[in-house]
Structure 1
Amino acid sequence: MPEHEPEQELGPKIADAFQTKADSARGLRAQGMAAIARRRVRRRRQTLITAAATVVVAVSIGGVWGAIGEPSPVSTSAGDSKAAGEANGSLDSPVMPRPDAGCPAQHPIEKAPGPEAVPAGIGLDVQMPVYGLQACRYRLVPGDPMLLGAAEFNADTAQQVVDAIKVLPERNPALPVFKCAPSAAQANEAIVLRFDTALGRKEVWVAYDGCASVGFFTGSQTFGLYAAPLKLFMKGTVRPAGGIYLDHLKGW
């Protein structure tokens, strides 16, 4: 019977131990790689959820996002449109006076017998709402009439002008305001206020020069000339240097 040697029995045990350790190490590596993969999947899922939430928020506030996640330069919200309109002076602020402002180069007031002779159907009913205003200043010198100045105003200012006119006392247009020389009786210039209404363009003729006819003329009513309405639209090129009646009127 062969002699039992401990080294022969120890060799297989050591080999088995090394094999077991190697298998354990491989298992740990596999588990570690699986954990890493799971973490990467969770991160990708969180990234997608965050991106989706960002798009939802962007759409809810009316913004348009580009491919790189920057806000679009084109606004899609009503609030942004209003802000842009206010910045450009197109909504709530009066438009600055400018040379043309849509006023016709020639107007019936230039050939009328006087600034009180508003043709039928043109005059404004001062009880009507108005939505805009063109103020046009004309020279009435016979043989040399012309447009002297113009300005546009928004709906708020237009309504303020009408409200300031309709509370003025009415006067008899046939009576002169005060006596003056015949050479100064007729006006050398006047202003036409052209209002936007639901019935189209309606006008008030404003006479402030001369002394034969002075006031706000609508064709059916004549209101006395006072400073409150004048200072709302006598701006820029629409503002006259003076006038026979204006020289006696304060506050305009």
Structure 2
Amino acid sequence: MPEHEHESEQELGPKIADAFQHQADRAGGLQGGGLAAEARRRVRKRRQGMAMAAAAVVVAVSIGGVWNAIGEPSPIASSAQDSGSSSPERGTAGTESEKGTPKFVPPQADAGCPADHPILQPNGATAVPRGTGLDVETPVYGMQACRYKLTPGATMLLGQRSFNATIAQQVVDAIKVLPERNPDLPVFKCTPQAARPSEAIVLRFDTSTGVREIWVQYDGCDSAGFFTGSRTFGLYSAPLKLFMTGTVRPTGGTYLEALKDW
């Protein structure tokens, strides 16, 4: 019971007793004294009843609190549980929303140029394997230039260098506009032994379907140019200047000497 109500009861008791006492005084004698005693008895009984009611309320509140704690889920606990159970769904939906249309991530080229490459096979300088050559209309996302020594019995990787997507695309764009042959290059008549180039370069491009290649022949006396297996582009200096750097740059070559500005 609130404290102010208890104080009101304490003030009310004396007032009732005084009222009965006043009435008793008016009635006089033994009868008045009896009324006053009865008034006091009723006030005490009323106070006891109110105290017991207050105690019952306290007990009921305590029991209700215990039941709330151990017998019935609290609203806060339920909200937290609901929030936790719905989180994965929101997380999944958020992930899908963030993904949107999947963006293409190009596959990475090998860490290094392969030491055993098909171009090292006898008479293989222009024989690009089927399905290996680059379609020059295909977007590229990077490139490795691999320079090989083709001398029989002493084949090896002479140098390599990686290039970013910008340079790789520039190389392809510079090649695909070239004619099949450069008419300014000389035409040689030579023996089969002399026809074989001493070295060549393989350009390995990163594409959406894997690594695709263009082989570059600039030595020997048989042929020169950029080979894809399905197409041949004449040898010009514009593409060569983009990737013939560092260990990929040859010291010379039969057709390079004729180009002069490579």
Shorter-chain TM-score category? 0.5 to 0.7
TM-score of the pair, normalised by structure 2: 0.55
The question of 1:110 aligning with 2:134 is answered: no
- CA distances 1:20-64 after superposition (whole Å, capped 9, x unpaired): xxxxxxxxxxxxxxxxxxxxxxxxxxxxxxxxxxxxxxxxxxxxx
Task: Please give the alpha-carbon distance, in whole angstroms, between the structure 1 residues aligned to 2:133 and 2:190.
Answer: 30
Task: Please give the alpha-carbon distance, in whole angstroms, between the structure 2 residues aligned to 1:246 and 1:184.
Answer: 16
The structure that is helix-richer by fraction is 2
- The letter for the 2-side match of 1:188 is S
Partner of 2:218: 208
Task: Please give the alpha-carbon distance, in whole angstroms, between the structure 1 residues aligned to 2:224 and 2:255.
Answer: 8
Task: Please give the alpha-carbon distance, in whole angstroms, between the structure 1 residues aligned to 2:163 and 2:207.
Answer: 14
Instruction: State the 1:111 CA deviation.
Output: 0.5
Contact 1:101–1:152 (CA under 8 A) maintained in structure 2 = no
Partner of 2:249: 239
Instruction: State the 1:169 CA deviation.
Output: 0.3
Partner of 2:190: 181
Identity score, percent: 68
Runs of 4+ in structure 1 off by over 4 angstroms are: none
Partner of 1:227: 237
Contact 2:118–2:124 (CA under 8 A) maintained in structure 1 = no
Residues 1:121 and 1:180: Cα distance change in structure 2 (over 3 Å): same
1:49-64 equivalent positions in 2, closer than 5 A: none
Show structure 2 runs of 5+ residues with no match.
1-109
Contact 1:168–1:223 (CA under 8 A) maintained in structure 2 = yes
Show structure 1 runs of 5+ residues with no match.
1-99
Partner of 1:143: 153
Partner of 2:143: 133
Instruction: State the 1:112 CA deviation.
Output: 4.7
Partner of 1:120: 130
Contact 1:101–1:150 (CA under 8 A) maintained in structure 2 = no
Task: Please give the alpha-carbon distance, in whole angstroms, between the structure 1 residues aligned to 2:135 and 2:164.
Answer: 19
Q: Which has the larger radius of gyration?
A: 2
1:96-107 equivalent positions in 2, closer than 5 A: 102-107=112-117
- The letter for the 2-side match of 1:178 is V
Partner of 1:153: 163
TM-score of the pair, normalised by structure 1: 0.57
| RMSD of aligned residue pairs (Cα, Å) | 1.9
The question of 1:194 aligning with 2:204 is answered: yes
Instruction: State the 1:211 CA deviation.
Output: 1.6
